[in-house]
Amino acid sequence: MKPTVVILAAGLGTRMKSALAKALHPVAGLPLIQHVLNAASGTDPEKIVLVLGHQSDRVRNAVHESRVEIVLQAEQLGTGHAVRQAKEAIAAAAGPVLVLCADTPLLTSGTLRDVIELHRKSRAAVTLITAQADDPFGYGRVVRGKTGVMRVVEEKDATAAQKKIKEVNAGIYCFDPKFLLSSLDRLGKNNAQGEYYLPDTIDLARKKKRGVAALRCPEPDEVMGVNSRVDLSRAEAVLRRRINGRWMAEGVTMLDPGTTFVGTGVSLGRDVVLYPNVRIEGNTKIGDGSIVYPGSRIVDSVLAGSVTVKDCSVIEESNIASGAAIGPFAHLRPGSVIGEGARIGNFVEIKKTTIGAGSKANHLAYLGDATVGRDVNVGAGVITCNYDGYEKHRTIIEDGVFVGSDAQLVAPVTIGKGALIAAGATITRDVPADALAISRVPQHIREGFAGRRRRLRQKK
Ligand code: UD1
Ligand code: CA
């Protein structure tokens, strides 16, 4: 029977000391809650219910999962109270109810399937996941008796002896829906925090002589809860290890995987080489044999095979064909399309511009809202003047054009095939194919002027 999943995400996450709701803090480029949703989706659920409170609209808009139902918890009175808001879905559940917290991003679907399976086999009223923690501080401690788990005691309610227990509650449970429903109204708040604690359902199950089962998670990392910024950085490190390990197994070289960030939505080809301090984010795809040198960031872009991105370049929402070379210190802004074998060099900025195969802009140029043909040479310091203060205009440079250094192309303007633009020209009108366009003030020579000036200065 398919599980109904309830994810608790109403809390602000006070310990994060943030204006942003905890569930929205990103790890490995995705909000915490999205990682939990992804794990939940892997259990083939009947339904996923999100319990939201703080910044509910923002959380709702941030998650990508079509099957979710939202319920609101107006006041955050504890995890037990949060689950109570999902009563309708619990009453309607034909299968087990899986309760998860939005702050456990390292959880895998495999572990969730294991807890569902153990729950089914043991016929327990509630099956919880526990882990052996080196530092159990902050977690609920699992108190065991002769017949197994008796109850969970929160850090703030624990006795000195209980605080020494290293087995912790992961905050992940599989419930018999009828038992859960009847327990929710029986939870009290007579505890250190004055909250309705969901783990108290375990005590209730014991009192009703119902079974309690526990799955010990062999990977304590997996059930780690993120409560603070330090936890967040630890989760990031674990996810980075997991993601990078997977890509290295697929044939990617990482010179320093500890400083290489690859987002969850990224895909990398074989023999891709990533140098230290590289960030590949969003929906980026990089083809076989491409190399990214240190300090570069690539977001939502497609790089074909054998592309070279030299040091400290930024590439956003762009498309780069095979054999092209970018950087060092290049900035490809959204809408840049770079053709096969093209070269975009030092301090070149490109925006909403197509560069044809084999073309070069090697130094200090700005090309915005332009279409550049094949085998074009864009000299050092060339600038498309694409903005008149109100509107953007296009520049078209046809195949085989040579644009001399420091030319300004005042858009809208078209440079015809094979034309030659002299260095320093300011081009305001279209240039026909194969023509030379030159716009310069005549050069004057005054013989001996500099020498006379120097001698005058020395006399003073
Ligand atoms: C909880 C457990 C603890 C367990 C730990 C595992 C309780 C009382 N304690 O503690 O035993 O070891 O998780 O990580 O359950 N939430 C709501 N509404 C509320 C309160 C919380 O939606 O009124 C949500 C939070 O947004 C969060 C989750 O429930 O996603 C857990 O809350 P949190 O405050 O982090 O619980 P812990 O103190 O970590
Ligand atoms: Ca927590």
Task: List, chain by chain if needed, residues with CB within 6 Å of any ligand 1 atom.
Answer: 8-11, 51, 73, 76-79, 81-82, 101-103, 139-140, 152, 154, 168-171, 197-199, 225, 227
Quick check: 304 and 287 in contact, CB under 8 A? yes
Query: In ligand 1, which atom is closest to the CA atom of 172?
Result: 6
Give nearest CA residue, ligand 1 atom 22: 10
Give nearest CA residue, ligand 1 atom 10: 139
Distance 67 CA to ligand 2 centre (A): 24
pLDDT for the residue numbered 401: 98
Encode burial over 292-314: b for 16+ CB neighbours within 10 A, e otherwise. bbbbbbbbbbbbbbbbbbbbbbb
Going by C-beta distance under 8 Å and a sequence separation of 6 or more, which residues neighbour residue 114?
215
Distance 152 CA to ligand 1 centre (A): 13
Distance 413 CA to ligand 1 centre (A): 62
Ligand nearest to the CA of 14: 1
Q: Which of 12, 36, 75, 101 to mutate to test the pocket of ligand 1 (most atoms within 8 A of CB)?
A: 101
pLDDT for the residue numbered 257: 97
pLDDT for the residue numbered 460: 79
Q: Which of 22, 33, 79, 107 to mutate to test the pocket of ligand 1 (most atoms within 8 A of CB)?
A: 79
Tell me the DSSP string of 237-275. HHHHHHHHHHHHHTT-EES-GGG-EE-TT-EE-TT-EE-
Quick check: 169 and 151 in contact, CB under 8 A? no
Rounded to 10 deg, the angle between the 32-41 and 109-122 helix axes is 50
Ligand nearest to the CA of 79: 1
Query: In ligand 1, which atom is closest to the CA atom of 154?
Result: 11
pLDDT for the residue numbered 64: 84
Is 54 among the catalytic positions?
no
Strands (E), 251-369: 253-254, 261-262, 267-268, 273-274, 279-281, 285-286, 291-292, 297-299, 302-303, 308-309, 314-316, 319-320, 325-326, 331-332, 337-338, 343-346, 349-351, 354-355, 360-363, 366-368
DSSP label of 102 = T
pLDDT for the residue numbered 67: 80
Ligand nearest to the CA of 198: 1
Report the relative pairing of strands 413-415 and 325-326 from DSSP bridges: unpaired
Structure tokens at 101: 């917290």
Report the relative pairing of strands 370-372 and 395-397 from DSSP bridges: parallel
Instruction: Give the chain's residues under pLDDT 50.
Output: none
Catalytic residue (choose from 25, 54, 331, 363): 363
Query: In ligand 1, which atom is closest to the CA atom of 81?
Result: 23
Ligand nearest to the CA of 23: 1
CA distance linking residue 130 with residue 47, whole number of Å: 25
Distance 224 CA to ligand 1 centre (A): 12
Give nearest CA residue, ligand 1 atom 7: 197
pLDDT for the residue numbered 183: 97
pLDDT tens profile 180-229: 999 999 999 999 999 999 999 999 999 999 999 999 999 899 999 999 99
pTM across the whole model: 0.90
Query: In ligand 1, which atom is closest to the CA atom of 227?
Result: 35
CA distance linking residue 384 with residue 388, whole number of Å: 11
Distance 52 CA to ligand 2 centre (A): 15
- List beta partners, residue 129: 215
Distance 181 CA to ligand 2 centre (A): 23
